[in-house]
Amino acid sequence: YNQGVEVIFHAAGSTGQGVFEAARATNKLAIGVDSDQNDEAPGHVLTSMVKGVNTATFDVIQRVQNHTFKGGIYSFGLKEGGVGYIYDNRNRALIPDSARARVEELKQEIIAGRIKVPSTR
């Protein structure tokens, strides 16, 4: 934050506590990861990138139960509910309506396959 940034996405799981502490101390914003991390610094968490581990787990259990599970790589993106972001009453005041609308448009474009998100594997 001392270098002029307003928002830091820590992407460090539970080890990102220092980012939340710094966001509070400097009255800046942080983006959480893995789960809703708003409670780490209320009023300073712009959003959190969440992983739908429950979605992936349920899918695999269903496949095993239906005898359709095959070992391999399964991808769970926005379309499948494997990733997402938090937007609720706790961060609504931090996100302008126009930004929220644009993010939703882009989300739908990704889900529809019109925007390709590069894979990291």
Does the pLDDT value for residue 118 go beyond 90?
no
Mean pLDDT calculated for residue range 10-28: 92
So where are the chain's domains?
7-95
Q: Which of 86, 66, 85, 63 is nearest to 74 (CA)?
A: 63
The torsion defined by the Cα of 121, 101, 112 and 88, in degrees rounded to 10, comes to: 60
CA–CA dist 41, 54 (Å, integer): 25
Say if CB 90 and CB 38 are below 8 A apart. yes
Mean pLDDT calculated for residue range 25-51: 96
Does the pLDDT value for residue 90 go beyond 80?
yes
